[in-house]
Chain A
């Protein structure tokens, strides 16, 4: 392995902190969806959904398979455009934007099925996550000496701090295609963190993991939330994990919202219990 310098094992708070949402105090509303409905042809994926995400909280979205959880994330990060309803971000109503524009506003995400750049190394994947923070143009990049190199090194420092934080130093230069599943998930989290998002969307970050890996991942999620105050919205199927790490929970079923509140409130909600355990419809 090539030896590289690492400034500190501790990630400084300035590294992964918000920018656009600086004006919003923790506990205030960061994002709100209002009466969102989304349909594909005749199939209704989401019907009249409203909820909010407060700055600094861990917000879980749960529900049985096909409840519309992933569709909800896709609406938030602009991959789907709802036919009805509005999305408010940082106190402003959001225009219909493309996903890459939304990334520049400070929303990052991971995917249910890992969506890493298979041909690139761990480091390059995380550096790609820094894309929204890099400014040099084609000409400066081609000449390299000067601005481009400086920018590369500055961003490399941030990337290295994230690598340290996620404890993936040893696989820094390994092509991600060769990594085991659990590590790939971690690299994907790293890539999203590298964007220093105001809002981090995690689509089933622990799917397919064993207990130990889940514990690791939960710890990373909580650390990100605690230390840098990053707001997190996550989809997860493991109820134990959801109840343990989230501040508030939204429950979807068949594209409708059937519950919203703290884990304790949701647990005692009859509609939620019915959706999960099944109830005789008669």
Chain B
């Protein structure tokens, strides 16, 4: 009734290729952004920041990255956490080697370094496809984690083998280290998330995004249209790894503060990100966020209900989480392979027509 596209005419192609072609969508999006920037920082507390908001924002970037590679370009990767580790360790090495460097530059440079590593591991993708490639990315996952564990240079020879983030500030406001305020960390991550999501959205709607999808849908036809498969796949690997690297850098420096690589960036984390994009929606920017939100919120919710509410032991809650996540993956692949994003689209299509059936 109130959600309509009637009367919302486009008179130029420029209007037609907007991110949110419908005025109502646009308004909703601005309201959401205003809420995130102007309201949340004032009501945020440490629990919400560390249990929900920070992991959500940071994992969304990782999900966005994997979605570029898997959802848009069709190359499945099981090495996400390995690349997050590259971001985290680049961040650590840059922070300790150049203490004067702004944290913003450090985080973005970590992304660039990860992109280079990603390109290296992306080269085999020209010859191998599908789950063969997935297995190849496992090599990246296990090798990288092993490397960061075994070579003391990466953790500056610290006795514990851990890396921990020094204190850094932006314009006098601390964003890393134990003293950093929840709202400052939150805003820092939020700004990065919004900017990166916007850039990714731009990439996916134009020439590059279409070449990714062409390779995903039918690589031979794409090649015959003029798409260079190696260049295209490598660009997807590069962009994807950049985002994942930034995510890893933030996960380490802003969110956890200290990291033991095998524990934080193990294969389970790779699966977690993969699940986020399956549940959220392959090939959808919105889906990356929806999936991240879902898989960050669900364990918190389960824990609150079962552990805090019913007084069950935490390990049972964890097992039930496994069952639910596994079940949901199967459910979504069967019922809605395009995930939450598609459900959202369908709901909107229905709303456009409501209250008429067709």
Q: Which residues from chain A sit less than 8 Å from chain B, CB to CB?
A: 2-5, 77, 79, 98-100, 103-104, 108-109, 111, 115-120, 124, 127-129, 131-132, 134, 136, 138, 141-144, 148-149, 151-153, 156-157, 160, 191, 195
Which of B13, B216, B226: most chain A Cβ within 10 A?
B226
Contacting residues of chain B (222-242) with chain A, CB-CB under 8 angstroms = 222-229, 235, 239
Are A142 and B213 in contact, CB atoms less than 8 angstroms apart?
no
Q: A115-B220, A144-B206 are in contact. List 7 more A-B contacts (CB 8 A).
A: A99-B224, A100-B226, A128-B225, A131-B211, A143-B202, A152-B207, A153-B14
- Indicate whether A100 sits within 8 Å of B206 (C-beta atoms), given known contacts A2-B10, A152-B17, A153-B14: no
The total of interchain contacts (Cβ-Cβ below 8 angstroms) comes to: 124
Selected A-B contacts with CB under 8 Å, 21 pairs: A5-B12, A5-B13, A98-B228, A99-B223, A100-B224, A111-B221, A116-B217, A117-B217, A119-B283, A132-B225, A136-B207, A138-B235, A138-B239, A141-B207, A142-B200, A149-B14, A151-B207, A152-B13, A153-B12, A160-B13, A195-B225
Residue of B nearest to A132 (CB): B226
The residues of A that contact B199 with a CB separation of less than 8 Å are: 142-143
Give A251 to B14 CA distance when docked, in angstroms: 49
The residues of A that contact B224 with a CB separation of less than 8 Å are: 77, 79, 99-100, 103, 108-109
Give A109 to B14 CA distance when docked, in angstroms: 30
Are B206 and A148 in contact, CB atoms less than 8 angstroms apart?
yes
Size of the chain B interface, CB-CB below 8 angstroms: 39
Partner pick for A115 among B200, B221, B228, CB 8 A cutoff: B221
The residues of B that contact A108 with a CB separation of less than 8 Å are: 224-225
The residues of A that contact B211 with a CB separation of less than 8 Å are: 128, 131
The verdict on B334 contacting chain A, using a C-beta distance below 8 Å, is no
Give A99 to B206 CA distance when docked, in angstroms: 22
Are A3 and B202 in contact, CB atoms less than 8 angstroms apart?
no
The verdict on B4 contacting chain A, using a C-beta distance below 8 Å, is no
Give A132 to B222 CA distance when docked, in angstroms: 11
The verdict on B347 contacting chain A, using a C-beta distance below 8 Å, is no
Are B203 and A117 in contact, CB atoms less than 8 angstroms apart?
no
The residues of A that contact B11 with a CB separation of less than 8 Å are: 3, 5
Interface residues as binary, B256-287 with A (CB distance below 8 Å gives 1, 0 otherwise)? 00000000000000000000000000010000
Are B13 and A156 in contact, CB atoms less than 8 angstroms apart?
yes
Residue of A nearest to B282 (CB): A119
Q: Which residues from chain B sit less than 8 Å from chain A, CB to CB?
A: 5, 9-14, 16-17, 21, 199-200, 202-203, 205-211, 213-214, 216-218, 220-229, 235, 239, 283
Are A156 and B17 in contact, CB atoms less than 8 angstroms apart?
yes
Residue of B nearest to A111 (CB): B221
Give A191 to B218 CA distance when docked, in angstroms: 14
Residue of B nearest to A150 (CB): B14
Are A98 and B223 in contact, CB atoms less than 8 angstroms apart?
yes
- Indicate whether A191 sits within 8 Å of B16 (C-beta atoms), given known contacts A115-B220, A128-B214: no
Measured CB to CB, the closest approach of chain A to B81, in angstroms, equals 25
Give A224 to B10 CA distance when docked, in angstroms: 30
Partner pick for B226 among A111, A127, A131, A156, CB 8 A cutoff: A131
Partner pick for A120 among B14, B217, B225, B226, CB 8 A cutoff: B217
- Indicate whether A144 sits within 8 Å of B210 (C-beta atoms), given known contacts A104-B226, A115-B221: no
Are A124 and B210 in contact, CB atoms less than 8 angstroms apart?
yes
Give A215 to B223 CA distance when docked, in angstroms: 30
Are B10 and A120 in contact, CB atoms less than 8 angstroms apart?
no
The residues of B that contact A141 with a CB separation of less than 8 Å are: 202-203, 206-209
Give A124 to B16 CA distance when docked, in angstroms: 13
Partner pick for A134 among B207, B213, B218, B283, CB 8 A cutoff: B207
Give A151 to B207 CA distance when docked, in angstroms: 9
The residues of B that contact A3 with a CB separation of less than 8 Å are: 9-11
Are A124 and B203 in contact, CB atoms less than 8 angstroms apart?
no
CB-CB nearest 9 A-B residue pairs:
A103-B226, A117-B217, A115-B221, A144-B202, A132-B226, A142-B199, A134-B207, A128-B210, A156-B13
Are B218 and A148 in contact, CB atoms less than 8 angstroms apart?
no
Give A273 to B107 CA distance when docked, in angstroms: 73
The residues of B that contact A131 with a CB separation of less than 8 Å are: 207, 210-211, 214, 225-227
Residue of B nearest to A4 (CB): B16
Give A219 to B125 CA distance when docked, in angstroms: 42
- Indicate whether A142 sits within 8 Å of B223 (C-beta atoms), given known contacts A117-B214, A118-B218: no
Give A143 to B214 CA distance when docked, in angstroms: 22
Are B210 and A116 in contact, CB atoms less than 8 angstroms apart?
no
Residue of A nearest to B196 (CB): A142
Give A11 to B228 CA distance when docked, in angstroms: 29
Residue of B nearest to A191 (CB): B225
Are B17 and A116 in contact, CB atoms less than 8 angstroms apart?
no
- Indicate whether A4 sits within 8 Å of B10 (C-beta atoms), given known contacts A119-B216, A131-B211, A142-B203: yes
